[in-house]
Structure formats: structure tokens, C-alpha cells
């Protein structure tokens, strides 16, 4: 379908109720901004960002959408939109003062970061643009539920014609994630409505510097299925007509629609900004002429829809309403620091608990790690229609019509082979080469109750998704005070020892992720552990980074028979890989087998080495580490990543702190050099830790 672009002119006749109701919300929004500015100046609020100049388009958009039915990913300026959707002035003011009763975040987030599960307003974060890919995921969920009816039956919120809505500023359209989103949503014909609130500036940077050619909707006109509608967002009737067109396009499943609304920002970016420093007076005067609240009032008066008396009465009644809400908000309880740890993880599903300890029922021949990860994915997809798999190259064949003629790809390591063929293309599919999109979209889908198990093709290429992981995935539950969650699983082949992997196919870096609160991080070293831990990851209710040492994928030493469809290992439980009394090696991933090799050699020298395979890196099994070190009085931490600032530093520090009096030798680390992994096998072997390195360190510690 060719792209459609419309420049909206007023032609709809709107009822008095809509016209006057819209004015009420616009004015309420304006007055709330002014009140919050006052509270900030009095130090009774701690941050303020305003929606002044954006009110008309926001109210229009909210009126065309369905609250508690459609899915909303607003921007921080969307006060009028949220009011129209049903957030109350008191709710907003409780956010301003950061009260415990703030329904968006209980005082954890800045004001104007609204969140309401009942209204389907998904908690905002502060990065400009990172909400967009999640809105794509929410829209994607609509199509998924329509295609996979068994999943829809398990959803309490699915409606056949629902749409997702996302708002952003002109500046945020420069983010790569915006462009990824447009590519995905137009190609997938997603029911997504974009609202670009173009106030001409991103803080001090004007649109012509921000956007090639200075007009974002003009740039978007060649995207298929995407309707772009440009309007004067300060003119309520024109704004309303634009929104009607856009929402209808998405609701009728013709594809995404983008409203490009020209608005103004007369109160500067925020209270920390003074636009007179960079915006000439001439421009400010012009913008003042387009104040949407004044324009709409003028329009209503001219059309005889209200009188001056009505205006005054409305003003007074809103002032009274706001004052009452301010009094209530100022009297509301402050948050209790004791509650800070609440909702970092699911409060109801504990993956470290016995519930996730389910014994194996072995049958069949020994299988590799690849086989048993694949088996677990098949089991879980069969068990629950909400489990789906996507990523780069994970499907057997993108074009389903060719599937019968080919063997199928199923991932560059074949871990997902056969899933598309068995479960269909809705449940296992290829994505564009865009890692932020894979994680962002999965996050949005999980917010809607799906369970995406996505693959990042190589750990080396996870970095484009880092913003989504660090600022969105890990924070959503905590920042919304348990209002929303996104328990996805990200599977990632990791590490070196491949011979030839070089810098960009051998990276480690797990400590960068164990450093993130809100994320579970797992790294199995055997086929059996991979199977049991992946099932726990899928059935638990937290986001999980599932790291698969790709060097171990097809080894014979770590194979296992299939353990059955319910085998699970709780997180935070290490495995005693070898018992000993003279030294504890704390390790995981590819270093487990190397430690075992070293231990065998040391046995001949009379040293009994105990080896703990952590398996689960966050949380980790401190109890077992502690018991073992208390027994052996010596600790060596062996891991593949760079030695400095790595995972071993945390373990070593804790041993030094809590087990000092039990130690008979220093705590030592054996790990990769602080270098990149090079191509030639001789160089690679010199960078990555080898059994001889472990041997040497163990001997030294034993002799200390």
C-alpha cells in the first residue's frame, strides 16, 4: 500500500460537549503546571516539567483513543493527555511531592512520569525515545493475540481492535530507536499510533538542526502502510480531526499512523532552562500567538459555545479543585526508606525457591547443550501459548511458503532449529538486524502478558540493546511500584575458546549485567544445567539474561540425557562440581571444565581441590561459597572475562570482608587478560585463562 499523507484542515463538526470538555481539560492541565511550578519554587516539589503549549493535541488524541482499552506510552509533557485519560489532579500532585501514595511510582520517579495499570498507561522512563520500541511490542502483542487464539484466551485485556499509542518530541525522532520502530511497525502493519509533538526545539536545539530538512513527517512518507498526518497541534478542531484519521487507520488494521503536530513551548524546556538564552524574542512573540488554551477559548467564545461568565466559573471551579488536591497531596505520607527493596523482583514468584527445584526424569541418549536448550524451548512453547521466540535468524525460514523445501536454519548455532516448523511463524520468527528492537519489543510484549524468549545472536552485539536493558527492562517493575513488569528471557551465546572468534565473536562481560539491579543473570556450563535453568528462567516472573558459553554448545564432556519437561534448577544454587578439602575454586561457564582439568593434575600432587560451578551469577550461592571456604580456607576465583573490574572482584571482596578470619592465604583471581580476544589461536590462548594458569595459582595458594 502506498503511504498516505494528509495535511489536516478543519472539517469535522464537533459537539459542544467535546469542545467545552476539551477546554476544561486543557485549562486544568495548564493550571496544574502553574501550581506545580509554584510548589517547586517553594521547595515542596523537587522537579517540574511542563506540558504548556501541547494541551490541544494531547486532549484530542486522548478523546480519540480508549482509556483502559488501548495501550499508552506517553511522553513527559503529556499532562493533558493523561488527565483526559483519567489520571486525576490529586494523582499528579502526589507525584509532584513524591508521596508514598503517588500511584505512578510511590515517590520513586520524577513527576510527569505517569503510570496506571487500570488506564493502560505504561510507566514512563526518562530517556527520550526508549518508550517507542515497547509501544511497538504492545502493538505487536495485539496481532499476536489475534493470531494465537489460545494466548488471547489467557489474556484479560485483549480487544480485537485495540491500538497502541506512543508520544514523543521532535528531538526524540533523532534517536535510532525511533527509526527502528518505524521500520518494524510499517513492515509489520502494526496497530500503532505515533504522536510527534513538535514544539520546534529539543531543549535549545531547533528542529532544522535536529532533523534533515526540518520536517520529520516529510521524511517518513515512503514507509509502506504508514499514514502520516500533519496538523497544527495548537488548534483543537484541526488536532482532533488529525487524531480521528490516524486512530481509525490503526484501528482498522491498515497499519501504523503518525500524527505530526506542530505545537509551542512557551514556558521553556523545564524549570532548569531559560529559553530566552537561545530563542529570539521575535519567535517567542510568534509562539505566544499560538497558545492553544487561549486559541480554543477564543474559538469557543466566537462560536457561542461558551460565555465569558462560563469561563470565569470554570476557572474558579478548577482553582478550587486544584487547591483541594494540593492540600491533600501536601498532607500525604512520605515514602518509607524501608520499602526501597520492594518490587525489584517479583513479589510473588521466587525463582530461588523450592518451587523451582524439580528433579530430572532422564531418558534417552546423552545430548549436547544445544540439544537440551532446544528441547526446553520446545517443551515450554508446547506448555504455554504465550511463550514465543524471536531474534536474528532464529526461524527456520522467513518465508513460510518455502519451509517445506528447506531443512531450516534455526539460529546461527541451530539452538532454535525446528521451532518455527513445529509451532508456526507467529511463535518463532526472524527480526530485522536491530538488537534494541529485539529487547524493546519483547519488553512491550511482556508488559502485555506474553513471554518472549529472544536471542541476541552474539554477546558481542548486545550493546545496541543496552539502553533497553539498563533503563527499561530492569527498572520497569521497580519504577512503577509493581504496577508493570516485563519478565522476558534474553538468550545470548557468549565467550571465546573458539579458535578464530577474535575480538567480535569472543567477548565476555557478564559483570556489566550482574551490576544491574532487577536482572537475573545465569550461565550454565553443562547441557543438563542449561535445560533446567532455562526452564526456571521462562517460568519465573523476572527478566533473565541467559548466557550460553558457545564453546560448550557441542562438547561431549558436558552432555546429558533429556531430563523431562518439568526439570528445573532454582536460581542462586551453585553446583558442587568436585569435592575437596585444600582449596576452593569458585568458577562458572567455560572455566569449569578447565578447573576440573587442573584439579586432576593437582590431585597427583596431593592437593584436593573443591570446585563450585556457580551456574547462577545473580543471584549467586553465597552460602555454598561460604561453607566451602570455611572448610578449605583458601579461595581462587576463575573466570573468562577480563580480570580487572570483573565478576571475581565482587566475590573476592565479599570473601575478604566476611570470611577473613577463615583464610590461610590471599584470595586470588585467574581470569582473562585486560585485552581483546585476538584471532590467531596462539594469541587467543595467551589472552584467555588456561588450566595451567589455574594450576599455577592453586599451587601458590596451597603453599602460602
Binding site for ligand TPP (CB under 6 A): 77, 126-129, 168-172, 197, 199, 201-203, 269
Query: At closest approach, how far in Å is the CB of 30 from ligand TPP?
Result: 16
Closest distance of CB 205 from ligand TPP, Å: 8
* Residue number of the CB atom closest to ligand TPP: 169
Grid cell in block for residue 547: 548466557
Nearest-approach distance from CB 522 to ligand TPP, in angstroms: 29
Helix, strand and coil in the chain, % to nearest 5: 45, 15, 40
Q: How far is the CB of 127 from ligand TPP (least distance, A)?
A: 4
8 Å CB contact between 625 and 574: yes
Give me the residues paired with residue 228 across strands: 5, 258
Comparing CB distances to ligand TPP, the nearer of 54 and 448 is: 54
The smaller minimum CB distance to ligand TPP, of residues 52 and 456, is found at: 52
Nearer CB in complex with ligand TPP: 52/583: 52
Residue 566: CB minimum distance to ligand TPP, A: 43
Q: How crowded is residue 698: how many other Cβ atoms within 10 Å of its Cβ?
A: 26
Residue with cell 488527565: 83
Contact 519, 465 (CB under 8 A): no
| 115 touches 104 (CB < 8 A) | yes
Assess contact for 588 and 615: CB atoms under 8 A: yes
Nearer to ligand TPP (CB atom), residue 168 or residue 530: 168
User: Quick check: is 505 catalytic?
Assistant: yes
Nearest approach, Cβ of residue 490 and ligand TPP (Å): 21
- In the numeric block, which cell numbers belong to residue 66? 480508549
Task: Output phi, psi for 374, to 5 deg.
Answer: -60, -40
Cβ–Cβ under 8 Å, residues 561 and 362: yes
Pick 210 or 457: Cβ nearer ligand TPP = 210
Q: What is the DSSP string of 626-672?
A: HHHHHHHS-EEEEEEEESTTSHHHHHHHHHHHHSGGG-SS--EEEEE
Contact between 448 and 441 (Cβ < 8 Å): no
Is the CB of residue 65 less than 8 Å from the CB of residue 74? Answer: no
Q: Which residues contact 497 (CB under 8 A, 6 or more apart)?
A: 506, 551, 590, 640, 684, 688
CB nearer to ligand TPP: pick between 95 and 570:
95
Q: 3-state DSSP call for residue 175?
A: coil
Pairing of strands 387-391, 428-430: parallel
CB of 25 to ligand TPP, least distance (A): 19
Q: Which is nearer to ligand TPP, 468 or 595 (CB)?
A: 468
Distances (CA, A) of 143 to 160, 188, 192, 427, 428: 9, 9, 11, 11, 14
Q: Which pairs with CB-CB distance under 8 Å and at least 24 residues apart come from 646-654? A: 646/511, 646/671, 647/510, 647/511, 647/514, 647/617, 648/586, 649/511, 650/511, 650/514, 651/586, 651/620, 651/625, 654/622
Return the number of the residue (84 or 210) whose C-beta is nearest ligand TPP.
210
Q: Which residues contact 440 (CB under 8 A, 6 or more apart)?
A: 130, 132, 133, 134, 136, 137, 177, 465, 468, 472
Backbone angles phi, psi at 388, to 5 degrees: -140, 160
- Closest separation between CB of residue 202 and ligand TPP, Å? 3
Tell me the closest approach of the beta carbon of residue 70 to ligand TPP, in angstroms. Answer: 22
Smallest gap from Cβ 120 to ligand TPP, in A, equals 22
Nearer to ligand TPP, 267 or 571 (CB): 267
Cell of 466: 543496552
Q: What are the grid coordinates assigned to 536, written together?
A: 526456571
φ, ψ (nearest 5 deg) of residue 681: -55, -35
Q: Which is nearer to ligand TPP, 124 or 540 (CB)?
A: 124
Q: Which residue in 249, 262, 417, 505 is the catalytic one? A: 505
Q: Is 277 exposed, middle or buried (0-12, 13-18, 19+ CB in 10 A)?
A: exposed
Catalytic site positions: 505
Amino acid at each position: 500500500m502506498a503511504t498516505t499523507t494528509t495535511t489536516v484542515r478543519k472539517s469535522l463538526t464537533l459537539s459542544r460537549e467535546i469542545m467545552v470538555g476539551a477546554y476544561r481539560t486543557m485549562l486544568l492541565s495548564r493550571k496544574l503546571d502553574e501550581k506545580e511550578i509554584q510548589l517547586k519554587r517553594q521547595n515542596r516539589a523537587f522537579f517540574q516539567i511542563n506540558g504548556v503549549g501541547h494541551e490541544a493535541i494531547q486532549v484530542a488524541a486522548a478523546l480519540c483513543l480508549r482509556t483502559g482499552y488501548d495501550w499508552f506510552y506517553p511522553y513527559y509533557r503529556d499532562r493533558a493527555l493523561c488527565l483526559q485519560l483519567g489520571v486525576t489532579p490529586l494523582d499528579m500532585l502526589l507525584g509532584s511531592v513524591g508521596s508514598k501514595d503517588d500511584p505512578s511510582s510511590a515517590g520513586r520517579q520524577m513527576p510527569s512520569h505517569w503510570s496506571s495499570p487500570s488506564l493502560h498507561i505504561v510507566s514512563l522512563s526518562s530517556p527520550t525515545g526508549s518508550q517507542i520500541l515497547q509501544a511497538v511490542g504492545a502493538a505487536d502483542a495485539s496481532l499476536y493475540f489475534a493470531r494465537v487464539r489460545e494466548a488471547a484466551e489467557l489474556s484479560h485485556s485483549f480487544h480485537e481492535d485495540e491500538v497502541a499509542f506512543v508520544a514523543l518530541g521532535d528531538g526524540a525522532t533523532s534517536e535510532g530507536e525511533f527509526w527502528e520502530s518505524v521500520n518494524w511497525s510499517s513492515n509489520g502493519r502494526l496497530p500503532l499510533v505515533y504522536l510527534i509533538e513538535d514544539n520546534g526545539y529539543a531543549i535549545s536545539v531547533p528542529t532544522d538542526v535536529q532533523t534533515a530538512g526540518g520536517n520529520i513527517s516529510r521524511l517518513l512518507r515512503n514507509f509502506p502502510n504508514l499514514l502520516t498526518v500533519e496538523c497544527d497541534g495548537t488548534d483543537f478542531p484541526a488536532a482532533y480531526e488529525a487524531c480521528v484519521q490516524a486512530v481509525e487507520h490503526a484501528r482498522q488494521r491498515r497499519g501504523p499512523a503518525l500524527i505530526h503536530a506542530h505545537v509551542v513551548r512557551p514556558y521553556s524546556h523545564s524549570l532548569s532552562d531559560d529559553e530566552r538564552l537561545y530563542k529570539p524574542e521575535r519567535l517567542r512573540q510568534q509562539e505566544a500567538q499560538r497558545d492553544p488554551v487561549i486559541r480554543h477559548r477564543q474559538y469557543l467564545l466566537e462560536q457561542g459555545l461558551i460565555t465569558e461568565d462560563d469561563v470565569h466559573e470554570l476557572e474558579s471551579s478548577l482553582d478550587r479543585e486544584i487547591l483541594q488536591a494540593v492540600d491533600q497531596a501536601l498532607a500525604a505520607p512520605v515514602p518509607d526508606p524501608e520499602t526501597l527493596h520492594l518490587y525489584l523482583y517479583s513479589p510473588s514468584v521466587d525463582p530461588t525457591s523450592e518451587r523451582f527445584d524439580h528433579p530430572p526424569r532422564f531418558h534417552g541418549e546423552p545430548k549436547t547443550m544445544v540439544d537440551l536448550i532446544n528441547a526446553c524451548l520446545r517443551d515450554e512453547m508446547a506448555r504455554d501459548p504465550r511463550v514465543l521466540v524471536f531474534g536474528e535468524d532464529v526461524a527456520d525460514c522467513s518465508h513460510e511458503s518455502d519451509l517445506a523445501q528447506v531443512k531450516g536454519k534455526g539460529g546461527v548455532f541451530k539452538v532454535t532449529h525446528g521451532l518455527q516448523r513445529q509451532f508456526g511463524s507467529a511463535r518463532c520468527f526472524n527480526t530485522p538486524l536491530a538488537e534494541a528492537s529485539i529487547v524493546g519489543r519483547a519488553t512491550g510484549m511482556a508488559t502485555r502478558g506474553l513471554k518472549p524468549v529472544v536471542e541476541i545472536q552474539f554477546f558481542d552485539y548486545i550493546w545496541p540493546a543496552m539502553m533497553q536493558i539498563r533503563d527499561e527492562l530492569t527498572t520497569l517493575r521497580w519504577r512503577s511500584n509493581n504496577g508493570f513488569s516485563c519478565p522476558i528471557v534474553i538468550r545470548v551465546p557468549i565467550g571465546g575458546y573458539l579458535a578464530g572468534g577474535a575480538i567480535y565473536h569472543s567477548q565476555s562481560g557478564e559483570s556489566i549485567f550482574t551490576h544491574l539491579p532487577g536482572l537475573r543473570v545465569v550461565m550454565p556450563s553443562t547441557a543438563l544445567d542449561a535445560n533446567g535453568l532455562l526452564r526456571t528462567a521462562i517460568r519465573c516472573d523476572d527478566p533473565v539474561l541467559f548466557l550460553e558459553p558457545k564453546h560448550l554448545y557441542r562438547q561431549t564432556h558436558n552432555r546429558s540425557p533429556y531430563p523431562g519437561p518439568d526439570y528445573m534448577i532454582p536460581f542462586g544454587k551453585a553446583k558442587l562440581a568436585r569435592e575437596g578439602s585444600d582449596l576452593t575454586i569458585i568458577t562458572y561457564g567455560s572455566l569449569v571444565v578447565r578447573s576440573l582439568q587442573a584439579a586432576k593434575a593437582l590431585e597427583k600432587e596431593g592437593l584436593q581441590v573443591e570446585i563450585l560451578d556457580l551456574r547462577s551469577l545473580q543471584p549467586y550461592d553465597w552460602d555454598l561459597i561460604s561453607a566451602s571456604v570455611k572448610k578449605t580456607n583458601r579461595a581462587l576465583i576463575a573466570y573468562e572475562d577480563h580480570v580487572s573490574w570483573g565478576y571475581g572482584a565482587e566475590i573476592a571482596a565479599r570473601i575478604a570482608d566476611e570470611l577473613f578470619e577463615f583464610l590461610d592465604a590471599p584470595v586470588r583471581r585467574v581470569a582473562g587478560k585486560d585485552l581483546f580476544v585476538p584471532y590467531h589461536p596462539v594469541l587467543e590462548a595467551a589472552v584467555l585463562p588456561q588450566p595451567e594458569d589455574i594450576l599455577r595459582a592453586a599451587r601458590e595458594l596451597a603453599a602460602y
